[in-house]
């Protein structure tokens, strides 16, 4: 995977860690890594950014499988977003977990909140996979599922890809899981990725 050089610190980063920005309306766009961009934004906004305890972390899920996350911080005039992005082969894939708060929040608490949210999500299982007659059968564990809606290249965006528990499922696979609920009702609710999962 091609890496992009940050105009400020000169280090090379994967695409997900680079933003193309300009801070001056008449200035030119440049490639900055997230942390260099955050530093400039912090100067403009007049706030101090803490040094994060980690820039990456590895955590096991409920099945003992390891997940590697990169921590990405994004600073906006409206607030701070901290994200844990699961990375596989240098590309974000799987879990994408985030928290946010206002600029004057306690940033140490926000960082801890992110790690707790990562742990909670890795320890919640929504989909069960069973093998029957040599075939994999997927089912919804406790009649409830929470996930993320993503772009499905294979359907060219006609139907979404859903990411549940860091795993990708096609719309069809989710539909199949729902067939065992024939006659039931359902509730479909959308919420922002920084909101708490309940």
Q: Does 6 bind Zn ion (CB under 5 A)?
A: yes
Task: Pick the closest to residue 166 from 147, 144, 193 (CA basis).
Answer: 147
Tell me how many residues contact Zn ion (CB under 5 A).
5
Residue 16 or 193: the one with the smaller Cβ distance to Zn ion is 16
CB of 36 to Zn ion, least distance (A): 3
Alpha helices in the chain (DSSP H): 34-45, 107-122, 171-178
CA dihedral 40, 44, 50, 56 (to 10 degrees): -40
Beginning with the edge strand found earlier in the chain, give each strand of the sheet holding 79-88 in spatial order. 56-60, 66-76, 79-88, 91-101
Q: Which is nearer to Zn ion, 6 or 118 (CB)?
A: 6
Report if residue 5 touches Zn ion, rule: CB under 5 A.
no
| Minimum distance of Zn ion from residue 153's CB (angstroms) | 30
- Secondary structure E strands in 1-150: 3-5, 12-14, 18-21, 30-33, 56-60, 66-76, 79-88, 91-101, 127-132, 135-140, 148-150
DSSP character for 87?
E
Residue 22, SS3?
Answer: coil
Chain residues 21-40 in contact with Zn ion, contact rule CB under 5 A: 33, 36
Looking up tokens 């007659």, which residue turns up?
Answer: 133
Nearer to Zn ion, 19 or 105 (CB): 19
In terms of CB distance, is 22 or 65 closer to Zn ion? 22
Residue selected from 2, 4, 5, 9 as contacting Zn ion according to rule CB under 5 A: 9
Q: Using the rule CB under 5 A, which residue among 8, 30, 93, 150 binds Zn ion?
A: 8
Cβ 7 to Zn ion, closest distance in Å? 8
Q: Tell me whether residue 23 or residue 181 sits nearer to Zn ion (CB atom).
A: 23
- State the minimum distance, in angstroms, from the CB of residue 12 to Zn ion: 10
Residue 98 CA, chain-centre distance (Å), reads 6
Q: Which is nearer to Zn ion, 74 or 173 (CB)?
A: 74
Report the interface residues with Zn ion, using CB under 5 A: 6, 8-9, 33, 36
């Amino acid at each position: 995977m091609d890496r992009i050089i940050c105009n400020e610190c000169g280090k090379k980063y994967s695409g997900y860690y680079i933003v193309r920005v300009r801070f001056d309306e008449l200035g030119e766009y440049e490639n900055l890594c997230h942390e260099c961009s955050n530093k400039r934004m912090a100067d403009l906004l007049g706030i101090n950014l803490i040094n994060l305890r980690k820039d990456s972390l590895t955590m096991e899920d409920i099945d003992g499988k390891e997940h590697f996350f990169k921590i990405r911080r994004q600073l906006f005039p409206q607030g701070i977003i901290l994200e844990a992005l699961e990375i596989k082969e240098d590309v974000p894939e799987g879990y994408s977990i985030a928290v946010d708060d206002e600029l004057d929040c306690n940033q140490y608490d926000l960082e801890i909140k992110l790690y707790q949210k990562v742990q909670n999500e890795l320890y919640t299982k929504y989909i069960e996979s069973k093998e029957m007659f040599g075939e994999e059968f997927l089912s919804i564990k406790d009649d409830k599922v929470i996930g993320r809606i993503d772009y499905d290249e294979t359907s060219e965006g006609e139907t979404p890809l859903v990411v549940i528990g860091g795993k990708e499922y096609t719309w069809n696979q989710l539909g199949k899981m729902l067939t065992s609920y024939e006659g039931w009702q359902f509730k479909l609710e959308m919420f922002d990725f920084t909101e708490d999962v309940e």
